[in-house]
Amino acid sequence: MVAVSQDWPVAELDPVRRMRVVAASTPGVGYAEKLIPAPFDAVWDTASDLERELPRLLTDVRSFEITSARGERMTARARGWLGQRARFDVVLRPGWCVMQSRFLIGGMAAAPEGDGTRFAFLGGLRLPGLRLIDPLLRPPAGALALRPIRRLEDRLRVR
Amino acid sequence: MTGPPPIDPALVRAAQRGDRIAVADLMDALTPYVGRVCGPIALQDGPDAAQEALIAILKNLGGLREPGAIYGWARAIAVREAVRVARQAARAVPAELADVPAPGDPQLAADVRDVLARLTPEHRAVLVLRDLEGMDEQAAGALLNVPAATVRSRLFRARRSFRKAWSP
């Protein structure tokens, strides 16, 4: 027997790769990623400040309020400019954030890459039947997912 | 070696129902195991293989009838994806072991990588299933879609490679 299992190579996935997995296995979502020329801590300090930054990154969100938190799990209340409200379950930890309401899913991930940070954004609807039109939705939704990343870059220049 | 930690069947069912937080939690729970299966088969393409394997696992989660069987089910997908990704990368070197690492080399982990790199992805898959996962030849053959005799010959060759590398 070859008794060296502790020395065998193990493949590891950083948060951005994990977000790619969530994106590819979730019908109807938009996904984009970009290399941001800023250190991980600066990028994630901004992106993870959900109450302050989400309304700036997502133009249809007026406010995002954390209503309870236990470790990395939280609940939040989002309000839109047209008065719509949604309760979100959120998981937030360094380099990783996923959130979902009854009808929406969102996610952000970040991982150091060279001198910069690879940042991923995911957003979309949770509706039955989206799997059927998934190939149609992906390209336009992907373009939409790039916008919050560009806004984050703008925010990083300001902060 | 100890097996992977058990996964709550309720988490699997929640993910099957479309709860995306549960899907992410399930991915976190499966990632170390999938990484252990994909790493020795796909080597430097291990992260790509693990990523592709997890996508296939989560996309097809609806087809898993028994949540308690998730590791065995995920293992089959991970092995196939790892072999596929490694073959695509065209880095397979089915050569004889020409220059093997010296026995007793302190860089044992590097040696394992070196020996694995000289095997084809299929040989590495057999080694992982038998020696890391403890499957018998019949089960390993069924998973890889090859006869048990083929598993035996691949295993013989793979182990001979290791023995050559480490025997004085």
- Collapse the DSSP code of A83 into the 3-class scheme (helix H, G, I; strand E, B; otherwise coil) and give the result: coil
Map out the domains of chain B with their CATH numbers.
1-91 (1.10.1740.10), 94-168 (1.10.10.10)
Contact between A7 and B51 using a beta-carbon 8 Å cutoff = no
Mean pLDDT of B102-115: 59
- Collapse the DSSP code of B13 into the 3-class scheme (helix H, G, I; strand E, B; otherwise coil) and give the result: helix
pLDDT of A6 reads 63
Q: Are A34 and A118 in contact (CB under 8 A)?
A: yes
SS (H, E, C) A63-75: EEEEEEEECCEEE
pLDDT of A2 reads 38
Nearest residue in A to B82, CA atom: A11
Q: pTM (2 decimals)?
A: 0.86
Compare B33 and A59 and report the one with higher pLDDT: B33
Q: Report chain A residues whose CB lies below 8 A from the CB of B108.
A: 4, 7
Q: What's the pLDDT tens digit per position in A9-33?
A: 999 999 999 999 999 999 889 999 9
**Domain boundaries along the sequence of chain A:** 13-158
Confidence check: pLDDT of B115 > 90: no
Q: How far apart are CA A3 and CA B124, in angstroms?
A: 15
Phi-psi group of B18: left, alpha or beta (phi > 0 → left; psi -120 to 50 → alpha; rest → beta): left
CA B145 to chain A, closest CA, distance in angstroms equals 23
A13-158 carries CATH number 3.30.530.20: yes
Q: What's the pLDDT tens digit per position in A70-122?
A: 999 999 999 998 888 999 999 999 999 999 999 899 999 999 999 999 999 99
Q: Are A2 and B8 in contact (CB under 8 A)?
A: no
